[in-house]
Structure 1
Amino acid sequence: MVQLHLKRGDESQFLFNTAADVSVETLVQQVAAIYNGRLKVDRICSEMPELAEHGVTQPPAMQGLTEEQVVELKLKDEWGEKCAPSGGSVFTKDDIGRRNGHAPNDKMKEVLKRTVDEAKALISKKQVQASVCVTMEMVKEALDQLRGAVMIVYPMGLPPHDPIRMELENEEDLSGTQASLQVIPESECQLWWAAKELHKEKKLQDYIGKNEKTKIVVKIQKRGQGAPAREPIVTEEQQKQMMMHYYRRQEELKKLEDADDDSHLDSAWSDRQALKRQFQGLNNIKWGPR
């Protein structure tokens, strides 16, 4: 299998195994699905701690309002009582007024937090260092773990406006958010290798040959953003090793230079004839005009 090291810019994303004779169009579909799936898992994992600490999201019309404003406007959260956590709730006020404050108990909190850690580990960028290839099945497993944890803690489900439920049901609206800039739709996804775009009408082997043991670095890019920066000639780790070697060599040369220093021979205390001249009264004799 050909191993692809996927990067976005200079940042590693994940490793992916494929066949040399795969079409670039199929490869783009697979890579884009994993890339965007990992982003979805990350977004859900970023919301889960808030769910554990402050309960479900309030209706959009009530978010950010004080209790007095809610009463004055006669607003009511119809989903607050329906979506109660299993085992009872503990009130923890959300200072920004985004969630209703009815948080799950400590046992249920632990379920959510543990599941977040497990899901993050599955799709982590650290898998690159561990030489573990990420598959779409792993992304789906992470999503299933998160969905299962939500069902355990909230057996009646989450409100339809809760971002976690919207993400799990693929109904999220990312327009106007920073997260939307990270997503790369399949139709706009491009793969680059060796400063060349991999065109969808070709096969991967048209670029890298038929060797199934090939390992290459592939850049994922959004259409219209131009060619990504070339990979550096040496890696960051290699650069560190070279700098360390250069520093050690300089220190060795400095020690050798100090060992060969014979400037002390010009000192008065190193003159072997000083005692003889002192007895002969020739110490202070100077040559040349005065």
Structure 2
Amino acid sequence: MVKLVIKKGDEAQFLYETTVDTSVDDALSEVCAIYNGRLKVQRLCAEIEDLAQHGITLPPNMQGLTDEQVTELKLRDEWAEKCVPQGGVRQNEDKVGRRNGQAPTQQMADVLNKTCKEAKDLISKKKVQSNDPVVLKTVTEALDILRGAVTIVYPMGLPPHDNIKMEFENNEDLSGTQASLDVIDEQNASLWFSGKEMQRGRPLKDFVGRNEKTKVIAKLQKKGQGCPSREPVVSEEEQKQMMAYYYKKQEEMKKLDKDAEDAYLDSDWADTQALKRNFHGLKDIKWGPR
């Protein structure tokens, strides 16, 4: 199985494993699905952590309003009574004004936060260093455990306008957000290896060779952005080691220079008492045994 370290920009995202006979189209389709799936998990974790902290999302017409404005406009959140967390409510006002402030109990909040950590670990970038590939099943598993945790804490479900519910139902609206710029559509994606774009309709072996034990770096990006930047000659870790080595050598040279500057003090011409001893006939006196 050939391994592709998928990078976006200069940062490694995940390790993808396939065969050299796989077509670029199939590989690109699966890589995009994994990449976008990881983004969905990250978005969900951010929202669920807010859910654990401040409760469900307010209706769009109530978000950002103060209590006085809500009272004045005679607005009412009918979902607050329907979507009650398991075990009761813990009041924690959302200063941003997106959520209703009726958070789940600390025990239920811990369930949500712990599950978010587990989901993040499943798709973590650190898995690249441990040589652990990420597959679509891994992303699906992360989504499933998040969905299960939310169902446990909110057995009555979430409001239809809550981002978490929309994400689970694939109805999320990312227009006008930074997240929309991060998502890469399969039809608008390209894979690059060694400064060359992998052309669709051809197998991976035309670009990475026929050796199934190969491990290469492939860069994912949107079409029309040109050739991605090349990989640095030395890695970040090697660069740190080199800097530490040259700093150590520099300190050693400084010490040697200082010692050389002070060495003249032992010379005869630098002795300030030499003339005085010469007048008194005390020059070159050798002391012998008594």
* Deviation of 1:160 (Å): 0.7
3-state SS in 2 of match to 1:16: strand
State the match for 1:44 in structure 2.
Answer: 44
CA deviation profile, 1:225-272 (whole Å, cap 9, x unmatched): 221111101111111122222223334444555666653425343998
1:155 and 2:158 equivalent?
no
Letter in 2 for 1:279: G
Residue number among 269, 272, 275 corresponding to 2:271 in the alignment: 269
Partners of 1:254 and 1:73 in 2: CA distance: 74
Return 64-73 or 100-109, whichever deviates more: 64-73
Q: How does 1:92-171 map to 2 (within 5 A)?
A: 92-171=92-171
Q: Which amino acid aligns with 2:192?
A: W
Task: Specify the code of the residue in structure 1 equivalent to 2:81.
Answer: E
Q: Does 1:200 align with 2:185?
A: no
**How big is the alpha-carbon RMSD for the aligned residues of Structure 1 and Structure 2?**
2.2
Give the Cα–Cα distance (whole angstroms) in 1 for the partners of residues 272 and 127 of structure 2: 66
> Which runs of no fewer than 5 residues in structure 2 stay unpaired?
284-290
Distance 1:191 1:266, change over 3 A: farther
Identity over aligned pairs, percent: 56
Whole-Å Cα distance in 2 between the matches of residues 159 and 9 of structure 1?
37
Confirm or deny that 1:64 pairs with 2:64. yes
Tell me the CA shift for residue 138 of structure 1: 0.8
Q: CA 1:244/1:90 → structure 2, altered by over 3 Å: closer, same or farther?
A: closer
Q: Is the 8 A contact 2:89 2:104 kept in 1?
A: yes
SS at match of 1:150: helix
Between the aligned partners of 1:30 and 1:71, the Cα distance in structure 2 is 50
Q: Distance in 2 between matches of 1:275 and 1:87?
A: 97
Q: Structure 1 residue 35: deviation in Å?
A: 0.5
- In the TM superposition, what are the counterparts of 1:199-218 in structure 2 within 5 Å? 199-218=199-218
Letter matched to residue 198 of structure 2: L
Aligned amino acid, residue 160 of structure 2 = P
| Matched residue type, 1:263 | Y
2:221 maps to: 221
106-115 or 37-46: which moved more? 106-115
Gaps of 5+ in 1: 282-290
Shift of residue 152, structure 1, vs aligned partner: 0.3
Deviations 1:126-172 (A, max 9, x none): 21222221111111111001000010001111111000010111000
Q: Which residue of 2 aligns with 1:288?
A: none
User: Secondary structure, in 3 states, of the residue corresponding to 1:6?
Assistant: strand
TM-score normalised per structure 2: 0.90
Aligned counterparts of 2:232 and 2:258: Cα–Cα separation in 1: 38
Instruction: Please tell me the residue identity of whatever aligns with 2:155.
Output: P
Go from structure 1 to structure 2 and tell me whether the alpha carbon gap of 1:76 and 1:273 turns closer, same or farther (over 3 Å shift): closer
Shift in CA distance, 248/101, structure 1 to aligned 2, threshold 3 Å: closer
